[in-house]
Amino acid sequence: MYAYDELDRTLINERVSEFRDQVKRRLSGELTEDEFKMLRLQNGVYLQLHAYMFRVAIPYGTLSSKQLRRLAYIARRYDRGYGHFTTRQNIQFNWIKLAELPDALAELAEVGIHAMQTSGNNMRNVTSDQWAGVAPGEVEDPRIWSEILRQHTTLHPEFSFLPRKFKIAITASEHDRAAIKIHDIGLRLHKNADGETGFEVLVGGGLGRTPFIAKTIKPFVAGRDILSYVEAILRVYNQYGRRDNIYKARIKILVHELGIEKFAREVDEEWRQMGHSALTLDHSVIEEVRSRFSYPAYEKLPHMPDELKQAAHDPLFERWRKNSVAPHKVQGYSIVTLSLKPVGGPPGDATADQMDAIADLADKYSFGEIRVGHEQNLALPHVAKRDLPQLWKALDRLGLATPNVNLVTDIIACPGLDYCSLANARSIPIAQELTRRFANHDTADMIGRLHINISGCINACGHHHVGHIGILGVEKNGEEFYQITIGGRADENAQMGALIGPAVPYAEVADVIEDIVEAYLALRDRPEELFVDTVKRLGVEPFKERVYATR
């Protein structure tokens, strides 16, 4: 965990008092809605279909049990008793009252949580691998750099009014769990030939109506230079990014229009002129930030404790363990994913009671720490293997042990037309229906890894382009229709899915997905071949033929 010091706390409190003043001026009419809109967005407040929506940052997905309890309290006190975890390590509350927001923010600030820049045309919450610091084989803990960037991007005097939003993600693992290739800037920590730690810098990724996979702008930028290099990218973007058309304002369009080579030359020239600036990070500065991350005092534990051997006789426990428990870098420990995708539930939602209970379990079994992943699930990052059977029982009672992590019912979905003023179609009921269709865990297991992503409009908050199966809601003559793509992925081999055929009406979506999955089961050359690999091998055609033959 990163421990806030007096300076971090002071800044958050100063931001709360500024926002309190802004709300006061809006309520008194001193600020017009047009003026207030950008100010509230800069603090995570959207006006949705039914009410204000409030988005709170969970930087690089790390939460303490104390912080999670406070989120539960906020859900209960200011909302309707639940919260929604998003694809960018935020939590959203959907029913907040504007006049009460400053108090809610002040209560969050007490535990070091804020909503700064969770929306608006500025640098958003810096996200990272939810297994950062515990995954085996990491170059180093990417949260050190995430925190350095979090501080640097917070209330930045030059880049708080960019052409459009700007998202940064960091990974330090071979397998990219942070989806860095669909970010405005993606950073991959690695070591160069001299053993020096630095970053491969990618730029211009993003989804929405013009999706792009990020391109490498520089294969290696040393850690000490990362702030100045990021600043150079942002300075070029701030000056030359398009402001005439909101749909062409993201950096991906600038990179596309200039071409990555010309864009890279512009950035390099700016970077060269910046020279050795105050942004260069001394070793001691990096170590200062590193020193404020604390790690658990792990015990020396056996790889295979007796408790685990005994529990292995229970097939239900084994099914969950094989699905939801991942290796930890320390022997005797595991990373446990908590599925927020119960059969029939809205993906990514947690009730206040669940949040409180998870906080208690984190205290008991995970050194008080919880992680939030972009797949809209939570994780307990440091669970002793001997405790897994007990933890499983507790999670099962809470409805948090659905053994469907990475399976067909582990669906990523945006809030859609049930909440969002931008949406053309509903997302949540589609997800709920699909979880019912594939409710049989043995079937889901047999299908294997399969990511379904659902967005209720072209803005793509559900990342449908990069779902193994992507579902995009569109509106046709006042009715909800859905375009379906297959073969997308968001990891280190990120790519966009391909359209399988004409859009289908709401009532047929689940049938079509079932047909696609059946086609896959018939087409895969062996059980281990994942859905996405079968699509890669065969292309869209054989799927299209089977799905549309009878339609």
Residues interacting with other proteins, by CB under 8 A? 5, 7-8, 10-11, 14, 17-18, 22, 30, 35, 38-39, 121, 151-152, 154-162, 235, 238-239, 243, 273, 277-279, 284-285, 288
Nearer to other proteins, 87 or 121 (CB): 121
Q: How far is the CB of 30 from other proteins (least distance, A)?
A: 7
d(CA 239, CA 180): 24
Q: How far is the CB of 407 from other proteins (least distance, A)?
A: 41
Nearer to other proteins, 33 or 541 (CB): 33
Nearer to other proteins, 123 or 496 (CB): 123
d(CA 135, CA 128): 12
DSSP-derived secondary structure for 163-218: SS-B-EEEE-SSS-SS-GGGSSEEEEEEE-TTS-EEEEEEE--B-TTS-B--EEEE
Taking CA atoms, 20 is separated from 16, 23, 48, 101, 284, in Å, by: 6, 5, 21, 8, 37
* CA dihedral for 431, 437, 440, 442, sign (positive or negative): negative
d(CA 406, CA 387): 23
Q: How far is the CB of 13 from other proteins (least distance, A)?
A: 9
Beta bridge partners, 143, equal none
Q: How far is the CB of 25 from other proteins (least distance, A)?
A: 9
Nearer to other proteins, 121 or 334 (CB): 121
Q: How far is the CB of 152 from other proteins (least distance, A)?
A: 6
Nearer to other proteins, 95 or 240 (CB): 240
Q: How far is the CB of 99 from other proteins (least distance, A)?
A: 19
Taking CA atoms, 279 is separated from 136, 146, 224, 475, 499, in Å, by: 31, 15, 8, 47, 45
Q: Under a CB-based contact definition with an 8 Å cutoff, are residues 406 and 354 in contact?
A: no
Amino acid occupying residue 549: A
Q: How far is the CB of 485 from other proteins (least distance, A)?
A: 34
Sort 78 into a burial class: Cβ within 10 Å, 0-12 / 13-18 / 19+.
middle
DSSP code, position 25: H
d(CA 460, CA 93): 20
d(CA 178, CA 132): 10
Sort 98 into a burial class: Cβ within 10 Å, 0-12 / 13-18 / 19+.
middle
Taking CA atoms, 322 is separated from 245, 302, 336, 443, 455, in Å, by: 48, 19, 10, 15, 29
Q: How far is the CB of 41 from other proteins (least distance, A)?
A: 10
Q: Under a CB-based contact definition with an 8 Å cutoff, are residues 503 and 483 in contact?
A: yes
Q: Are strands 333-338 and 325-327 parallel, antiparallel or unpaired?
A: antiparallel
Nearer to other proteins, 272 or 309 (CB): 272
d(CA 51, CA 53): 6
Nearer to other proteins, 30 or 299 (CB): 30
Q: How far is the CB of 282 from other proteins (least distance, A)?
A: 8
348's torsion region: left (phi>0), alpha (psi -120 to 50) or beta?
Answer: left
Q: How far is the CB of 291 from other proteins (least distance, A)?
A: 9
Taking CA atoms, 217 is separated from 116, 123, 180, 220, in Å, by: 28, 19, 13, 9
Q: How far is the CB of 160 from other proteins (least distance, A)?
A: 6
Q: How far is the CB of 420 from other proteins (least distance, A)?
A: 22
Nearer to other proteins, 22 or 130 (CB): 22
Nearer to other proteins, 277 or 310 (CB): 277
d(CA 332, CA 36): 52
Nearer to other proteins, 224 or 464 (CB): 224
Nearer to other proteins, 151 or 495 (CB): 151
d(CA 371, CA 377): 9
Nearer to other proteins, 22 or 62 (CB): 22
